[in-house]
Amino acid sequence: MTVSLMTLDPSVQMPAQMSTFAPAVDDIYYFIYWMSVVFLVGITGAAAYFSWKYKRKPGVKAEPTGHNTVLEIGWTVAPIFVLIYLFHAGFKGYLDLAVAPADAMEVRVRGLQWSWDFEYPNGAHMNQLVVPVNKPVKLIMSSSDVLHAFFVPAFRVKRDLVPGMYTSLWFQATQTGETNVFCAEYCGGRSTENAQSGHWSMITKAKILSADEFDKQMSAAVGPPEGKTTEQWGEILYKSKNCFGCHTVDGSKGAGPSWKGKFGSTETLSDGSQIKIDENYIRESMLDPQAKIVQGFGPVMPTYKGILNDKEIDALISYIKTLK
């Protein structure tokens, strides 16, 4: 009974259909939508018509009309069948969404205040979701701090990332291209001149590539990009890992200390002790940010343990050293 409204273009109500789930989700949505339109018009229309037709007239006395058994049973039973259909369609769709195919490619997703980290089978990390077209992809998701929610409207998938547990979802993209990934759970933020530090900055892209292009990007993502020095790679990571959300490189104050002139300087920590900023301090601050906090800053940095590998940490430290 479902007429598939498969469209690649977004409609007024729905974004483009870019996964195998989209047609089924939209079919149920539009079924409920049009059913509601029909009943809204039918019921309001009938109510208006009857109030006009049977309005009080001089000399006419109202009398009980009795009842119509067939009609009453009919309008009680008919909706039951509609509800059974909706339950069936919804439950079937839910099962499809809940159980990933065994051959799905697994991607680890971490949500942190305030960015995403996607880890691919070859160990590459990105802050965007990159997937091959026409291949099932399973996301194993966790949160480094608070509740986040992974939401890709064009795929019609959404699930919470919960601290202390794994959640997962899967999808199969049906066309190459690009679409938006949102965090759909308000996960905090500060009022600061820096617009990058908050829930709203957790918007990123999902890129759907051909199998060849996907393999190419994956192998390029595990080390410094071709022709770049370690320092330059560090600068790229500074942007792609969202370090810039809290740390400036021009000396101005953000949620965290600016990186400018930081390397080799002596800082006072929140407990009053002094420390010289060296490689070990920076490394520790990335992996265990609450261990030694510079005075005047809050304990707000998430850990990058499992997100930055050793090579990337080295590259970031090399970059910080260049910021004199």
Residue 193: CA atoms inside 13 Å, Cβ hemisphere, count? 5
Stretch touching ligand CUA by CB under 6 A, among 24-32, 89-97, 184-192, 286-294: 184-192
Distance of closest approach, residue 131 Cβ to ligand CUA, in angstroms:
20
The nearer residue to ligand CUA, 148 or 262, going by C-beta atoms, is: 148
Stretch touching ligand CUA by CB under 6 A, among 39-47, 70-78, 178-186, 208-216: 178-186
| List 25, 130, 181, 187, residue binding ligand CUA (CB under 6 A) | 187
Distance of closest approach, residue 110 Cβ to ligand CUA, in angstroms:
11
The nearer residue to ligand CUA, 116 or 233, going by C-beta atoms, is: 116
What the block records as the tokens of 175 is 């066309």
Stretch touching ligand CUA by CB under 6 A, among 182-190, 203-211, 213-221, 315-323: 182-190
Residue 97: CA atoms inside 13 Å, Cβ hemisphere, count? 18
Position 183 contacts ligand CUA (CB under 6 A)? yes
| List 185, 237, 243, 313, residue binding ligand CUA (CB under 6 A) | 185
Position 111 contacts ligand CUA (CB under 6 A)? yes
Position 110 contacts ligand CUA (CB under 6 A)? no
Element (H, E) at 44: helix 22-53
The nearer residue to ligand CUA, 116 or 319, going by C-beta atoms, is: 116
**Counting every residue, how long is the chain?**
324
Q: How far apart are CA 199 and CA 187, in angstroms?
A: 5
Q: How far apart are CA 76 and CA 56, in angstroms?
A: 30
Positions 199 through 238 that interact with ligand CUA (CB under 6 A): 199, 202
The amino acid sitting at 224 is P
DSSP 235-294: HHHHHHTTGGGT--SSS---SS---TTTTT-EEEBTTS-EEE--HHHHHHHHHSTTSSPB
Distance of closest approach, residue 115 Cβ to ligand CUA, in angstroms:
9
Position 49 contacts ligand CUA (CB under 6 A)? no
- Print burial letters for 298-310: b (CB count within 10 Å at least 16), e (below 16): eebbbbbeebbee
Locate tokens 């992974």: which residue?
150
Position 148 contacts ligand CUA (CB under 6 A)? yes
- Rule CB under 6 A: which residues touch ligand CUA? 111, 148, 183, 185-187, 199, 202
